[in-house]
Amino acid sequence: MRDLKIYDFRRALPRMSWAPQNLYNLWQRSLGQRKDETDFGSRATPTSIFQQRWIAKTLVRAYHGDFINEGVFKRWYIPDTLPDVRPRKDLSQQSISLKRWSRKDDAAGKEEKQRDENNQKGFAPVGSLMFAEVERRIDVIIFRACMARSVYDARRLVIHGKVLLNGKKHTAANTRLAPGDMVTVDPAAIPFLQRPVRAKAKETSDAKASSESESSETDESGVFSTKPILKEDSKYKQTQTYFKLPSYAAPFIFIPAYLEVSFATCSAIYLRHPTARPGYSELPTPYAADGEIIDAAWEWYVHRRPRIRSKRRLAREPGNRQLADL
Residue 199 included in any domain: no
Spatial separation of the C-alpha atoms in residues 326 and 14, rounded to whole Å: 41
Q: What is the pLDDT of residue 122?
A: 66
Same domain? For 96 and 190 the reply is no
The residue out of 121, 142, 168 marking a domain boundary is 121
Q: Are residues 147 and 293 in the same domain?
A: yes
Residue 231 lies in a domain: no
Region 294-308: mean pLDDT is 81
- Give the percent of the chain with pLDDT over 70: 71
Asked whether residue 189 is domain-assigned, the answer is yes
Provide the β-strand partners of residue 276: 281
Amino acid at 50: F
Same-domain status, 188 and 250: yes
pLDDT of residue 279: 79
Mark whether 114 and 263 lie in a shared domain: no
Q: Tell me: do 16 and 70 sit in the same domain.
A: yes
Mean pLDDT over each residue of the chain, to the nearest integer: 79
Give pLDDT tens digits for 247-292.
Answer: 888 889 999 999 999 999 999 999 999 998 887 889 999 998 888 8
Percentage of the chain beyond pLDDT 90 is: 39
First and final C-alpha spacing in the chain: 40
Would you say residue 296 has pLDDT above 60? Answer: yes
Q: What was the pLDDT predicted at 89?
A: 53
What one-letter code names the amino acid at 9? F
**259 within domain boundaries:** yes
Residue 221's pLDDT is 43
> CA 112 to CA 95: how far, in whole Å?
10
Q: Are residues 27 and 131 in the same domain?
A: yes
Choose the weakest-confidence range: 13-27, 65-79, 165-179, 306-320: 306-320
Note whether residue 190 is domain-resident: yes
Measured CA to CA, the distance from residue 292 to residue 7 in angstroms comes to 24
The predicted model gives 14-30 an average pLDDT of 93
Q: Is residue 18 one of the residues assigned to a domain?
A: yes
Question: Cβ distance 281 to 258 under 8 Å?
Answer: no
Confidence at residue 306, expressed as pLDDT on a 0 to 100 scale: 64
Decide if 207 is inside a domain.
Answer: no
Does 149 or 92 have the greater pLDDT score?
Answer: 149
pLDDT at residue number 155: 95
Q: Is the pLDDT of residue 310 over 60?
A: no
Instruction: For residue 49, name the pLDDT band (cuts at 50, 70, 90).
Output: confident
Indicate whether 229 belongs to any domain. Answer: no
Residue 99 one-letter amino acid: K
pLDDT of residue 222: 40
What gap in Å lies between CA 324 and CA 275, rounded to an integer? 26
Choose from 59-73, 84-98, 120-134 the range with maximum mean pLDDT: 59-73
Residues 131 and 150 placed together within one structural domain of the fold = yes
pLDDT score at 44 = 58
Q: What is the CATH number of the domain that holds 51?
A: 3.10.290.10
The pLDDT value recorded for residue 90 is 53
Domain that holds residue 263: 9-84+125-194+244-315
Greatest mean pLDDT range, 124-133, 149-158, 205-214, 217-226: 149-158
Question: What local confidence, expressed as pLDDT, does residue 120 receive?
Answer: 64
Clarify whether residues 72 and 116 are in a common domain: no
- In this structure, what DSSP letter does residue 263 have? T
Q: Are residues 13 and 117 in the same domain?
A: no
Residue pair 295/179 in contact (Cβ under 8 Å)? The answer is no
Kindly state the average pLDDT of the residues 16-25: 93
**Single-letter amino acid, residue 270:** Y
Q: Are residues 250 and 111 in the same domain?
A: no
**In sequence order, what are the beta bridge partners of 277?**
280
**Residue 277: enclosing H or E segment and its boundaries?**
strand 276-277
Residue 79: the pLDDT is 87
Spatial CA neighbour of 145 closest among 284, 18, 23, 260: 260
Query: What sign does the CA torsion over 195, 198, 201, 203 have?
Result: negative
Asked whether residue 79 falls in the same domain as residue 98, the answer is no
User: What letter represents residue 120's amino acid?
Assistant: Q
Number of domains in the chain: 2
Q: What's the pLDDT score for residue 280?
A: 84
- Decide if 71 contacts 23 (C-beta within 8 A): no
Is residue 49 domain-shared with residue 110, that is, in the same domain?
no
